[in-house]
Amino acid sequence: MDIAERVAELVQIPSVNPLHAGPISGDGGERELSDWLANHAEALGADVVVDEVETDRCNVYARFEGASEHAVTVDVHLDTVGVEHMTDDPFDGRIEDGRVYGRGSVDTKATLAIVLQVLEELQGAGQRPLPTVNLVGTVSEEGGGLLGAARYRDWLLERGQRIEQIVVAEPTMCAPVHGHKGGIGLDVTVHGHAAHSSKPHLGANALSGAARIVVAIDEEQERLAGLEATTPVGKGTVSVTELAGGLARNIIPDACALYVGRRTAPEEDIDEVRAALCALIENSAAPLSTTIESLYGDGSPGFYQDPSCALVTVLAQLADIAPTTAEYGSNALKYGEVADQRVVFGPGSIDQAHQAIEWVDISQLNRAVDIYRTWFTQ
């Protein structure tokens, strides 16, 4: 089986994040792909741990023993985004025009296929990889607060283990990405008091409190935009991206819900940013009260790795591409506490991810196979 066929095989295993599930995706989540990975890795001789993160949602940790004391870890998220907006069969994995098509083909089942392909080649040649390879399949990257990565981090901490070098799989066109922003998401409810719209003075308009928050957030974004960036990752940003409220056209609304998203730069302290943002929201809504929740975790500080470290350097040399930074986030945000060196890396373009038609170039797959083959054997 060549690499395109292996990617196609994985695309044909639906693994839509339950938060994005719909009639086409089914309700299996990552379960079938987790089972496939555990069984396949075990058949290749790996020591496999299946770690349930939530009911029927399992991380898989496969350890392939190497010929040296060095160890590398590759994290591949098993979930994909939804498929309801896709314009062709999301799971057909068809191969044509030099591409593999289907949900997850580029984001990011490609890397899972590539690592297994190289390990199978070595096994077929009677060889072990030079470093011990820890292949980690994590759930819940595409929604839900990076629960799988957070669980793997905690699993390592519980055992007093650290990661020497970790590659977090994302489509980077085989360029090593050594930094990107973190983030905090706040679900805010503004509490008012209902009244007949003919007598607004008897009520407290929750929409008015929410509007004051939106204005304050826009002003905060202007302040952040005027700051000096201290790393190539750039400056923090903040925005309101959801707003919902109102009962009827003749009722003063008693509640309004909004979502505030704050992207954090690497140098920012996550606790300080959260406290300041909550204070801004509460003060802006006053005299109305607010409820502020982080439904998908407490957020993450930005990720930044010195580009001169050994991991970034070797991947840049093997790919013959300069290190860069990214605008999107990844599981790398959760590994700062347990990993000495982190990088985001993988074949294909992020521009093809999450699209109505998703695909990955086979030339990119072959290039990444060559990189991993050399990395695992040099």
Clarify whether residues 168 and 309 are in a common domain: yes
Q: What was the pLDDT predicted at 159?
A: 97
End-to-end alpha-carbon separation of the chain, Å? 24
pLDDT at 295: 79
Last residue of a domain, one of 261, 293, 325: 293
What total number of domains does the chain contain? 2
75-119 pLDDT tens trace: 999 999 999 999 989 999 999 999 999 999 999 999 999 999 999
**Pair 188, 258 in one domain:** yes
* pLDDT attached to residue 50: 98
Domain holding 246, by residue range, is 182-293
Same domain, 70 and 206: no
Cβ–Cβ < 8 Å for 223, 237? no
- Count other C-beta atoms under 10 Å from residue 139's C-beta: 32
DSSP single-letter state for residue 76: E
pLDDT of residue 128: 96
Last residue of a domain, one of 293, 325, 353: 293
Identity of residue 319: A
Q: What local confidence, expressed as pLDDT, does residue 350 receive?
A: 95
Indicate whether 276 and 220 sit together in one domain.
Answer: yes
What CATH number does residue 140 fall under? 3.40.630.10
Tell me, what CATH number does 238's domain have? Answer: 3.30.70.360
Asked whether residue 152 falls in the same domain as residue 186, the answer is no
pLDDT score of 299 = 87
* Amino acid, single-letter form, for residue 41: A
Q: Residues 199, 337: one domain?
A: no
Which residues, given as ranges, of the chain have pLDDT below 70?
none
Residue where the block lists tokens 């797959």: 365
**Residues 158 and 24 reside in one and the same domain:** yes
Reading the block at residue 84, the tokens are: 């309801």
Domain match, 190 and 272 both: yes
159 and 24 inside one domain: yes
Choose one of 223, 258, 293: the last residue of a domain: 293
- Regarding whether 340 and 227 lie in a shared domain, the answer is no
- Which residue, among 158, 136, 44, has the nearest Cα to 342 in the 3D structure? 136
Task: Quote the pLDDT of residue 14.
Answer: 97
In the sheet where 132-138 sits, what is the strand order? 47-54, 57-64, 132-138, 71-77, 163-169, 339-345
